[in-house]
Structure 1
Amino acid sequence: MGLRSKLGLIFVLVSSLAILVLCVAVYTQAQSARLDRTRSFADERIQAAAESYDRSEVPVFGARLDDPDLPPPLRDAVMNGKRATFKTAAPNAKMWAAVGVKNGRILSIVQDYDVNDPSMNALRRALILGGIGTVALVALGSVIAAGSLSRRIVAVAGTARRIAAGDLDASAAGAAGKGKDEVQALATALDTMASSLRGQLEAERRFTADVAHDLRTPVTGLLTAAELLPPGRPSELVRDRAKVLRRLVEDLLEIARFDSGVEQADLEHVGLGAFVGSAVGRLRMQQSLAPDSVVVHRLGREETISTDSRRIERILANLIVNGLRHGRPPVEVTVQGRTIEVVDHGNGYPEELIAEGPRRFRSGVAERGVGHGLGLTIAAGHAKVLGAELTFGIAPGGGACARLVLPDSPETES
């Protein structure tokens, strides 16, 4: 049940209870007033009858002396010297009035007390119809009011999702509309949080770009100097670490370009299945991989698409290298239509990565090995430039499964 339904139901229940209590109170008060009027009328009649009897000893108004049907509580009250009235219970309710007269006798009168009084029946019908109509109006008003509140909250929630997806310029206060209530306060707080987050991300992007640019020149010099070292195991270790450092700097620069939003796809028509086979072959040569370490499967007919082949090759290389480094061979690459799947036979991606996507400098759990966590981040960045969908999960037979779904027409970033 949504917020709109819950608020509407609460309003209707509260209003119905209030109207019910009010109707019962009005009806009870009307019954009490009717009973008081009947008592007063009976008391006036018995007074007049007693005065007439005292003068002429002739009962009037249908009064009777020492009526044997006189209710005992009323008889006791009169014996104590009181003038009293008494109403018997339904059915056949009656209103009695009695008073003591001369010679120790009791003069009494009795009249019917109709429970089904027409005026009370009319009042009861009016209260029921009025209550139902009021509840209906309250229900309509509550649905309208709750709908307005619900729409504003849904709009703020939609803006929050846009901010979570990376649109930090989205305004929750604008989505919430005008007002100075709690919803507007929530939207303002959300905008403040987004502004703070935007500032932090911009500072992080600048720091990453500055560090990468500042390290590029000394790392290049370090790599050049390492090549001049005499042959030997220590020299090989230095050259190897220098190359790793250079790759890290290049990865940081690539991520900085993604963060700046200047990357664009260079589109060309590509036969996807044939291209993936060629790209995997080039990767085997560059990485000196065994032929059976990476296996390509092509299912269905060949699909020719308009895309950026360089970025697809980069995505494939990062996914395959990640599978070989953190999983177990063979890494199976399956091409079907516009979809490319890369599956290894290791322990699979960690749940956090599957749920939230890759993050830089977070390589996952220990079973997936060590690393800077930049390979999958860069692959996701290239996929975003292509307008493709890159998801991570667990393969049906176990192991990590990365699925790249290319769009019909790439939505390139400007």
Structure 2
Amino acid sequence: MGLRSKLGLIFLLVSSFAILVLCVAVYTQAQSSRLDRTRGFASERIQLAAESYNTNGVTLFGSRLDDPDLPPDLREVVTAGKVATFVTGSPNRQMWAAARVEDGKVLSIAQGYAPNDPSMNALRRALILGGIGTVALVALVSVVAAGSLSRRIVAVAGTARRIAAGELDASAAHAVGKGRDEVQSLATALDTMASSLRGQLEAERRFTADVAHDLRTPVTGLLTAAELLPPGRPSELVRDRAKVLRRLVEDLLEIARFDSGVEQADLEHVGLGAFVGSAVGRLRMQQSLAPDSVVVHRVGPEEAVSTDSRRIERILANLIVNGLRHGRPPIEVTVQGRTIEVVDHGNGYPEELIAEGPRRFRSGMAERGVGHGLGLTIAAGHAKVLGAELTFGTAPGGGACARLVLPDSPETES
């Protein structure tokens, strides 16, 4: 049950209970007033009848002397010299009025007292119809009010989802409209958080780009100087570390370009299955991999796609290298239609990465090895530029599974 339904139901129940209590109170008060009027009228009549009897011995208003049907409780009170009234119970309710006359007898008058006379019936009908109409009106107003509140809260939630998706310029305050209530305060707080997050991300992007650019020149010089060292094991270690540092700087520069939003896809038509096979072959040569360390499976007919082949190859290389580094060979690459799956036989991706996606400088669980966590982040960045969907999960037989689904019409970012 949504918030709108819950609020509407609460308003309806509270208003219905309040209207019911009010109607019962009005009806009870009306019955009490009617009883008081009837008692007063009966008391006046018995007093007039007693005066007439004491004066000239004539009874009025159908009064009777020492009526055997007179209720004992009323007879006891009247014998003490008081004028009193008494209402008998069901099924034949009557209003009795009695007074003691001068000869010591008890003069009494009895009249019918039905609880449901026409006036009370009319009042009851009016209360029922008025209560139903009021409840219907309150229900309508509560649905409208709850709907307005629900729409504003849904607007805030939608803006929060847009911000989580990367649209940091989205404004919750603009989505909910003007107001000075709690929803407006929530929207303002969300906008403040988004603004702070936008500033932090911009500072991080600038820092990454500045560091990468500042390191590029000295790292290039370091690599050049390392090539001039005399042959030997120490020289090999220096050159190897220098190359690792250069790759890290290049990765940082690539991430900085993704953050700046300037990357665009250079589209061309390629046969996806054949292209993946060629890309894996080139990767084997570049990385000096054994032929059986990466296996390509092609399922179904060849699919021609319009995409950026360079980015597809970059995504494949990062996923395969990640699988070789953190998982266990063979790495199985399956191409089916517009979908590419890369599966290793290791311990699988950590749950946090599967749920939230890759993050830079976070390589995952210790059992998947060490690293800077940039490879999967760069792969996700290229997939975003292509408008493709890159997801991470667990393979049916165990191990990590990365699935890249290319769109029918690639969406490029400017």
TM-score (norm 2): 0.99
Pairing of 1:170-209 with structure 2 (within 5 A): 170-209=170-209
Query: How high is the sequence identity, in percent, across the aligned residues?
Result: 88
Structure 1 residue 359 displacement after superposition: 0.1
Partner residue of 1:389? 389
What's the counterpart of residue 168 of structure 2? 168
Structure 2 portions without partners, runs of 5+: none
In structure 2, C-alpha distance between the alignment counterparts of 1:85 and 1:337, rounded to whole Å: 98
In structure 2, the partner of 1:281 is 281
Give the whole-Å Cα distance in 2 for the aligned partners of 1:344 and 1:76. 104
Pairing 1:332-371 to 2, within 5 Å after superposition: 332-371=332-371
CA distance in 1, matches of 2:80, 2:350: 94
Structure 1: gaps spanning 5 or more residues: none
Rounded Cα–Cα distance in structure 2 between residues aligned with 1:156 and 1:274: 47
Residues 71-98 of structure 1, C-alpha deviations (whole Å, 9 max, x = no match): 1221121122211101011211000011
Q: How far apart, CA to CA, are the structure 2 residues paired with 1:163 and 1:73?
A: 82
Distance in 1, matches of 2:366 and 2:332, equals 23
- Determine the structure 2 residue equivalent to 1:102: 102
Partner of 2:313: 313
Q: Which moved more, 1:331-340 or 1:95-104?
A: 95-104
Choose 335-344 or 74-83, whichever is displaced more.
Answer: 74-83
Runs (4 or more) in structure 1 with deviation over 4 Å come to none
Partner SS for 2:292 = helix
**What amino acid sits opposite 1:137 in the alignment?**
L
Q: In structure 1, what is the Cα distance between the partners aligned to 2:230 and 2:110?
A: 133
Offset at 1:255? 0.2
Aligned-pair CA distance for 1:224: 1.3
C-alpha distance in structure 2 between counterparts of 1:316 and 1:72, whole Å = 106
Give the corresponding residue for 1:158: 158
Q: CA deviation at 1:238?
A: 1.3
Amino acid at match of 2:353: L
Correspondence list, 1:7-22, <5 A = 7-22=7-22
1:148 to partner: Cα distance: 1.1
CA distance in 2, matches of 1:293, 1:406: 25
Task: Give the counterpart letter for 1:267 in structure 2.
Answer: L
Question: Does the residue aligned with 2:194 lie in a helix, a strand or coil?
Answer: helix
Give the CA deviation at 1:240. 1.1
In 2: Cα distance, 1:74 partner to 1:367 partner: 97
Amino acid at match of 2:348: G
Greater mean alpha carbon deviation, residues 233-242 or residues 397-406: 233-242
Letter of the 1:162 counterpart: R
What SS does the aligned partner of 2:103 have? helix
Q: Deviations over 1:239-276 (max 9, x none)?
A: 11111111111000000000000000001111100000
| Bigger shift: residues 354-363 or 177-186 | 177-186
Q: Which amino acid aligns with 1:394?
A: T
Matches within 5 A, 1:133-148: 133-148=133-148
Q: Corresponding residue for 1:217?
A: 217
Matched residue, 2:270: 270
C-alpha separation between the residues in 2 aligned to 1:81 and 1:369? 108
DSSP-derived class of the 1:104 partner: coil
Shift of 1:306: 0.7
